[in-house]
A and B are shown apart, each in its own frame.
Chain A
Amino acid sequence: MQILKTYKGLASFLFGTLLYCISLNYAEALPLFSRQTDQNCVACHAGGQYPELTPYGRYFKLTGYTLGKRQNIPVSVQFVGGAATSTNGNNGTGQVNQSGKLEANYAFLNFGGKISDNFGAFSQWYYAFNEQVSGNGSIPNQNQFAADIQDWRYADRYVGDSTDTIKDFIWGASLNNYAGATDVWNSSPMWMYPYMGSTRNYSTYGLPFNTRLSAYSIHNPGVGVYAYINRNFYVEADLYQSGGSGALSWLTYPATNSNPNNAPVYLQGVNPYVRLAYQSDERAGHNWMVGVLGANINQYSSCTTIANSGSYKGSTPICGAINSPALSSGTVQYQDRAVDGQYQYLVDPHTVTAQARYTKETISDPNGILYSNANNKTNSLMTKISYVYNATYGAAVAFQNITGTADAFYGTNAVTGAALNPNSAAWIPSIWYQPLQNVRLTYQYTAFTKYNGGTTNYNGLGTNASANNASWLYLWIAM
């Protein structure tokens, strides 16, 4: 990684060359993987409810997206837009009174797929329309082009005899930019329901913005290795480091220390993420998984964050560019430990899937950068169950709950309220209609039964938890 930093120009050039080579030799595409394999979405996505993966979809991802024939134009696009309604500007984003106006939310650009017999990529970029880019309510919404999930893989596979102890062994390495981007189960933080949220209303994503798990928020370059044995045992370890500058900064584009709206996440050294899982065989259409995952993240804050912090107890850092890291202020240390599980029943026309994840997070912030307590703990439970008929009609409901120690400050957005704790709970039901495999119309509702510690008047200003409820009718098209 240090070598790559030193030869930033060369590495960028090589990457450009790679893209050039890929684009040189291809003829048709979209959506990318479907055209690559000539198979329909349901082959890899459970009941067509992308991004949930079938057993075959997991195999496709873990073998590095290399199955099928390489495409001449390895690109596909997606569009998400709809109408959101809510009564309260929520999650500290300063957004108010969504009135059901039709709005574009995201345009995605996907490329990658098979590069060579052992290399492949899932590379997603997005253009967000009128997004709250900073998490800071005083900065207006903006349009933004940014790197979304990246997963560039090398994979190989050994297949023995069906009587061997190790009869199927997939191994590989990944360059990616989110802890868990590599995961193939939908109970992991990166890939869990709700699969889409509005740029204009963060309640559509569920639990309050500032108490979402830190492992999810590591938007940083990382490299990892993984192995999948007999299609039962999975093990993966990744290391993440700062990506604001250097050869891998494209993975976190457009975050730079001089971008006032998009500060990079600064990490101290290398930060580990580990994932273990047991995936059952399929029996009569049923399969299940249980797993554990964990991450230790030591995160510096930007000078802007320190300047805005109401709880900071350290000495004033010496800072350069507006969002440069405040290295002398120390780090906030997150430790996430989670158990998760998934169940799938996949026999056409019925698809039933369920996921759950329970996470314990400890947060140590001795200098009070983001929290006033030196130590905080949160426990969160994320669940979801869905049913799809004929890969066309679907319904899902999720329940999300978080509890934690009381603190006047939680993350960059202060917990306003009498209870001064992050305790929140939300139900997220949705129904959808998918007339074609690449067109999905969804109605999704988020109902908070508790918000930042209270159900009624949680902030002392007369606001009830339900004021943060949001509905969203949106269209998702992939081409």
Chain B
Amino acid sequence: MKILLRPTKATRLIAPFIVVSAILILGGCTYFNNIPPVSTLENPTRSRTLGDYEVAGNVLAVQVCASCHGLSGQTQSPMVPNLAGQQREYIINQLQDYRDRTRSNKYAVQFMWGMAGSLTDKQIQELADYFSRQVPKSAAIVTGDPSTFARGKEIFENGIPAKGVVQCNSCHGPKGEGMATFPRIAGQHTYYLIQQLNVWKQPVKKEFMEVGGNTWAPRTVKFARPHGVLMLNEEQNLSYEDIKAVAGYLSTLP
């Protein structure tokens, strides 16, 4: 006698649903949890695989960095530095310092620690290639008090020997174009330059803040730029007026 394993009507209705569901769960979870579409890793125009450690630096540059630093490395906000034509070695140093959380000025903590946190050394080098090759921003137009401008020019070219402040162009190049680990400062935003000069001017500055998006554990952050220790000597003796003067002058350098 044949025993037919005859499914009930309900079972017949539910069975395909279960099979389809199992496929969807397996397929869906696999998709969501594992597979970046590898073909887009090198495609700067379309890639959204931005969290992948194999994604190319130039893809990150246009899809992520450009949101604030501009496609051409020229920025709109004075808080965000121009990167076009920046020294390659300098960009590498700074991105590594952001990633390792050793460059800890305020905006570094708020913006760049997160941005650089997952970068590989290879990506950092590719990003440095991308931005260092771009044409530097045309300089800001000279405005404001001529005597302040002259003071800035004086500090840039001759320093303040009486205070032991060395002239900027001795390391940053005759036109402020930078050299290797010394950054390009010509044509940079005045606001940004002042902020950074103040990091060295006030080497003990601290702020109680949340870091890296961790709202459970705010802590005191000591502002620092470890690759800029040479600047500490220069800035301690530079007055706030002189900082403004030299920053304003630098922004007008082509």
Q: Which residue numbers of A lie inside 8 Å of B, CB to CB?
A: 10, 13-14, 17-18, 20-22, 24-25, 30-31, 33-40, 42-43, 55-56, 59, 63, 66-70, 114-118, 155-162, 167-168, 281-285, 287, 346-348, 436-438, 478-479
Contact = CB atoms under 8 A, between A and B. Distances in A.
Contacts of A13: 21
A160 B46 CA distance: 9
Q: Which of A10, A31, A117, A281 has the most CB of B within 10 A?
A: A117
A118 B48 CA distance: 7
Contacts of A287: 76
The 6 closest A-B pairs by CB, nearest first: A38-B114, A34-B213, A282-B76, A39-B114, A162-B71, A40-B110
Contacts of B114: 37-39, 43, 68
Contacts, number: 141
Contacts of B25: 17, 20-21
Interface of B: 17, 21, 24-25, 28-29, 31-33, 36-37, 44-46, 48-51, 62-64, 66-68, 70-72, 76-79, 106-107, 109-111, 113-115, 117-118, 191, 209-216, 218
B63 A159 contact: yes
Nearest to A281: B76
A22 B25 CA distance: 12
A157 B64 CA distance: 11
Contacts of A161: 71
Contacts of A40: 109-111, 209-211, 213
Given A43-B111, A436-B218, A117 B78 contact: no
A438 B210 contact: yes
Nearest to B48: A117
Given A38-B212, A67-B50, A56 B24 contact: no
Contacts of A282: 76-77
A167 B111 contact: no
A285 B79 contact: yes
Contacts of B70: 162
26 contacts: A17-B24, A21-B29, A24-B29, A24-B33, A31-B213, A34-B214, A37-B114, A37-B115, A38-B115, A38-B212, A38-B213, A39-B114, A39-B213, A40-B111, A43-B111, A56-B67, A69-B51, A69-B118, A117-B36, A117-B37, A159-B44, A159-B45, A159-B62, A159-B66, A160-B45, A347-B77
Nearest to B44: A159
A348 B64 CA distance: 22
B71 A21 contact: no
Nearest to A10: B17
A15 to B, nearest CB: 11
Contacts of A117: 36-37, 48-51
Contact of B215 (A25, A156, A479): A479
Contact of B64 (A36, A67, A436, A437): A67
Given A39-B110, A160-B45, A116 B32 contact: yes
Contacts of A69: 51, 118
A37 B111 CA distance: 9
Nearest to A30: B215
Nearest to A159: B62
A117 B63 CA distance: 12
A285 B78 CA distance: 6
Nearest to A37: B114
Given A24-B29, A39-B114, A117-B50, A438 B67 contact: no
A246 B98 CA distance: 49
A68 B51 contact: yes
Given A69-B51, A168-B66, 4 more contacts: A21-B28, A21-B32, A35-B213, A56-B68
Nearest to B110: A40
Contacts of A18: 28, 32
Nearest to B208: A436
Contact of B78 (A14, A21, A347): A347
B45 A158 contact: yes
Contacts of B29: 21, 24-25
Contacts of A479: 215-216
A267 to B, nearest CB: 31
A59 B117 contact: no
Contacts of B28: 17-18, 21
B32 A38 contact: no
Given A43-B111, A156-B48, A159-B66, A38 B117 contact: yes
B210 A167 contact: no
Of B63, B77, B113, B218, chain A has the most CB atoms within 10 Å of the CB of: B77
Contact of A347 (B62, B191, B211): B191
Most-contacted residue by chain A among B36, B115, B211 (CB, 10 A) = B115
A103 B191 CA distance: 44
A159 B71 contact: yes
Nearest to A346: B77
Contacts of A478: 215
A13 B213 CA distance: 33
A162 B51 CA distance: 24
Contacts of B111: 39-40, 43
Contacts of A167: 71
Nearest to A114: B51
B223 to A, nearest CB: 14
Contacts of A30: 215-216
A158 B43 CA distance: 10
A13 to B, nearest CB: 6
B51 A31 contact: no
Contacts of A17: 21, 24-25, 28
A118 B63 CA distance: 13
B115 A39 contact: yes
B44 A37 contact: no
Contacts of A68: 51, 114
A438 B48 contact: no
Contacts of A168: 66, 71
B110 A38 contact: no
B138 to A, nearest CB: 14
A478 B63 CA distance: 29
Contact of B24 (A14, A55, A67, A160): A14
B34 to A, nearest CB: 9
Nearest to A115: B32
Nearest to B117: A38
Nearest to A58: B67
Nearest to A116: B32
B38 to A, nearest CB: 12
Contacts of B110: 39-40, 42-43
Contacts of A347: 77-79, 191
Contacts of B209: 40, 436-437
